[in-house]
Amino acid sequence: MPDKPGVSDVAGSRELILGRIRERLGRNAANGVTAGQAVAAYLAARAAGPRPAIAGDLVAAFRARSEALASTVDMVDDMADAPLAVAAYLAAHGLPGKAVCVPEFAHLDWRAAGIDVVARAAVDGDLVGISGCFRAIAETGTLMLFTSPATPATVSLLPETHIALVSATALVAGMEEAWTAARAEFGPLQGFPRAINFISGPSRTGDIEQTIVLGAHGPYRVHILIVR
């Protein structure tokens, strides 16, 4: 069997494809900044289409929609309260008191809550992953996550149970606000992260006899902890 392509091979292919696109568009270092600014101006000026109204406040709307998608939702007053809330969730579901988390939450006092939490990317065998999220979308009950060395995607995608710690300030009404925030955060010059993941409840499929099965391609539990 042929060897699988390495990271450098994939990166080289990606740059080759993007280089050809830039060549066809006439993009280069001299006009790239101006072109990026023109795109940003177009997006900012574009009128939004009709949208459904959000009933109640964003937290209530996000919670209702998330629970309709089979996520579970809890709330705490402060990020320092998160370890105890996570410990209670794990105990209530008979899950092991150990997990991996993104580095952002390494400082929390997990040990005092009786949980063994390590800040690293998830690997095969990790059953619980604790992530943050960039934005939480009330209209669809969706978590918007970016990948980076500080936010490894495996933490939210590989373990059977995904726990997301979400600041109430990260809630937005819809996709429009989420993408506006992303463009403001990263900008046309810095560039977007390698991947953007949208998570709307546990992984599911209905491929076999149209029977919904949870956890087919990722976590079959998604627990969202909103920090007021």
> Could you give the domains of the chain?
7-45 (no CATH), 58-227 (3.40.50.10420)
Indicate if the pLDDT at residue 181 is higher than 60: yes
pLDDT, greater one: 160 or 39: 160
Using a 10 angstrom Cβ sphere, with 0-12 exposed, 13-18 middle and 19 or more buried, the burial of residue 112 is exposed
| Residue 172 to residue 88: CA distance in whole angstroms | 28
Q: Write down the mean pLDDT value for the chain.
A: 88
- Confidence band, pLDDT 50/70/90 cuts, at residue 1: very low
How many CB atoms are closer than 10 A to CB 99? 24
Which of 30-39, 136-145, 163-172 bottoms out in mean pLDDT, i.e. has the lowest?
Answer: 30-39
Q: Two tokens at 95?
A: 């899950």
Helix and strand numbers, DSSP H then E, in the chain:
6, 12
How confident is the model over 175-183, as a mean pLDDT?
92
pTM for the complete prediction?
Answer: 0.81
Q: What percent of the chain has pLDDT over 70?
A: 89
Which of 42-56, 81-95, 128-142 bottoms out in mean pLDDT, i.e. has the lowest?
Answer: 42-56
Q: What are the tens digits of pLDDT across the range 83-119?
A: 999 999 999 999 999 999 999 999 999 999 999 999 9
Which are the contacts of 13, defined by CB distance < 8 A and separation ≥ 6? 5
Q: What are the tens digits of pLDDT across the range 194-215?
A: 899 999 999 877 666 666 666 5
Cα three-residue angle 120-123-127, rounded to 5 degrees: 95
Sign of CA dihedral 99, 102, 106, 110: negative
